[in-house]
């Protein structure tokens, strides 16, 4: 019998951050595609849209008027999924029907006053202002006694459910630690207690030694396709220094984070020469007043596109009922991302 080959044979890969497994089926990447194809987003927006509720000077649905902001702008979400003044209480019937009140704050961050930009089209100094605002919001919201976790994220593109194309992200700050960072926190704590180092410190050392899945790096950050990636071109952005949250980054590290974000998102856009959709988010330590030395700052990018600008990955069938599954290997995805230019395709025209 032939020996096992991870580029040809089905296998499972373990995600040490979540404690879960993903099924990898590289042989399936050769199958023809006859499924649904998506319409690509039309990327011809004006620099200012009078109908956009995020553009400077425009009136939002709730009646508030945006200031004539010139860089970043943050405000409480007019339709936030969380509310600060929720009364305490809950339901518990036999331990089977359980619910509990959840309070929190939802904020919207506009990355730029220009309606027609996205992160890869912004300069590093402009993205640095976004990083600074992320850090300030994390610190201010996390200082509240009723907030124990601050989740910063971006949904880019209508394929990811983004309701407004203006460059923006969101912050959901809440009383409890959500499921994904809670799983990661538990895994990181167990590893730190056993080894005295953060899980991502040792994982990053392995990846930098192998270089198989590293996409790009600078002095302070590394972007790679994780060994356990589920989404086709999923990436993980990791700080070289094991800091727990954004507020601990030096000025140089904040600049480097902005640089890494720009370079990665340019590569995404250049992959299929479109404004590339994704959901991304920072994972950092809870804001419950504890030190959490086990936490290591990182950022996830989850893009859905698989083979082209119109073919995407869906979570259905086995993935909903069993485990996540992927066809193309993380090594293949990393190679594709390394191959593309860091000059945005619109600038190269």
Structural contact between residues 247 and 134, judged by C-beta atoms closer than 8 angstroms = no
| Of the candidate ranges 94-98, 194-198, 228-232, 284-288, the one whose mean pLDDT is the lowest | 94-98
Compute the residue count for the chain. Answer: 349
Please state, for a pLDDT cut of 90, what percent of the chain lies above it.
72
Residue 28 has which token pair? 């399936």
Phi, psi of 257 (to 5 degrees): -65, -45
Q: Give the C-alpha separation, 204 to 192, whole Å.
A: 15
Q: Give the C-alpha separation, 340 to 349, whole Å.
A: 15
Beta strand pairing status for 104-110 and 235-239?
unpaired
Instruction: Return the residue matching tokens 């009140």.
Output: 101
pLDDT at 166 over 50: yes
Q: Give the C-alpha separation, 47 to 309, whole Å.
A: 24
Q: What is the mean pLDDT of residues 255-260?
A: 98
Q: Coil, strand or helix: which one is 28?
A: helix
* Confidence label for 321 from pLDDT (cuts 50, 70 and 90): confident
Q: What is the mean pLDDT of residues 223-234?
A: 96
Q: For the domain made up of 12-28+45-348, give the CATH fold.
A: HIT family, subunit A (3.30.428)
Give the ranges where 101-241 is alpha helix by DSSP (H). Answer: 124-142, 179-195, 199-210
| Of the candidate ranges 1-15, 71-85, 166-180, the one whose mean pLDDT is the lowest | 1-15
Query: 281-319 burial, b for 16+ CB within 10 Å, e for fewer?
Result: bbbbbbbeeeebebbbbbbbbbbbbbeebebbbeeeeeb
Q: Give the C-alpha separation, 349 to 314, whole Å.
A: 32
Q: Give the C-alpha separation, 76 to 80, whole Å.
A: 8
Q: Give the C-alpha separation, 55 to 59, whole Å.
A: 9
| Active-site option among 115, 166, 168, 298 | 168
Structural contact between residues 149 and 177, judged by C-beta atoms closer than 8 angstroms = yes
pLDDT at 115 over 70: yes
Q: Give the C-alpha separation, 284 to 237, whole Å.
A: 12
pLDDT at 139 over 70: yes
- In this structure, the number of other CB atoms found within 10 A of the CB of residue 39 comes to 9
Upper half-sphere CA count for residue 114 (Cβ side, 13 Å): 10
Q: Give the C-alpha separation, 284 to 152, whole Å.
A: 9
pLDDT at 2: 72
CA R_g for the chain: 21
Structural contact between residues 223 and 236, judged by C-beta atoms closer than 8 angstroms = yes
Give the ranges where the chain is alpha helix by DSSP (H). Answer: 124-142, 179-195, 199-210, 251-272, 318-321, 330-339, 345-348
Burial tier of 237 (Cβ tally within 10 Å: 0-12, 13-18, 19+): buried
Catalytic status, residue 168:
yes
Q: What is the mean pLDDT of residues 248-269?
A: 98
pLDDT at 39 over 60: no
Q: Where are the domains of the chain?
A: 12-28+45-348
Upper half-sphere CA count for residue 203 (Cβ side, 13 Å): 26
């Amino acid at each position: 019998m032939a020996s096992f080959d991870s580029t040809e044979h089905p296998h499972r890969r373990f995600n040490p951050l979540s404690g879960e497994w993903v099924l990898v089926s590289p042989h399936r990447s050769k199958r023809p595609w006859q499924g649904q194809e998506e319409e690509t987003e039309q990327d011809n927006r004006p620099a200012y849209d009078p109908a956009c509720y995020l553009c400077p000077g425009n009136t939002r649905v709730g009646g508030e008027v945006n200031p004539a902001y010139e860089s970043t702008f943050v405000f409480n979400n007019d339709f936030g999924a969380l509310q600060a003044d929720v009364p305490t209480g809950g339901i518990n019937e036999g331990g089977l029907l359980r619910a509990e009140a959840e309070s929190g704050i939802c904020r919207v961050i506009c990355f730029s006053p220009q309606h027609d930009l996205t992160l890869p089209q912004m300069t590093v100094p402009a993205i640095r202002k976004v990083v600074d605002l992320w850090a300030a919001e994390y610190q201010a919201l996390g200082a509240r006694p009723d907030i124990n976790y601050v989740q910063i994220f971006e949904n880019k593109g209508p394929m990811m459910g983004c309701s407004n194309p203006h460059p923006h992200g969101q912050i959901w700050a809440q009383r409890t630690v959500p499921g994904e960072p809670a799983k990661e926190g538990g895994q990181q704590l167990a590893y730190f207690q056993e080894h005295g180092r953060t899980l991502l410190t040792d994982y990053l050392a392995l990846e930098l030694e192998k270089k198989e899945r590293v996409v790009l790096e600078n002095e302070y950050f590394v972007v790679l396709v994780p060994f356990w990636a589920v989404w086709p071109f999923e990436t993980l952005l990791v700080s070289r220094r094991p800091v727990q949250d954004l507020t601990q980054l030096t000025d140089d590290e904040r600049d480097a984070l902005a640089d890494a974000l720009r370079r990665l998102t340019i590569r995404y856009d250049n992959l299929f020469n479109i404004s590339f959709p994704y959901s991304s988010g920072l994972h950092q330590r809870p804001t419950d007043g504890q030190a959490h030395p086990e936490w290591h700052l990182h950022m996830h990018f989850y893009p859905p596109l698989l083979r082209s600008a119109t073919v995407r990955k869906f979570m259905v069938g086995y993935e909903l009922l069993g485990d996540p599954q992927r066809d193309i290997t993380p090594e293949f995805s990393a190679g594709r991302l390394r191959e593309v230019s860091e000059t945005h395709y619109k600038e190269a025209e």
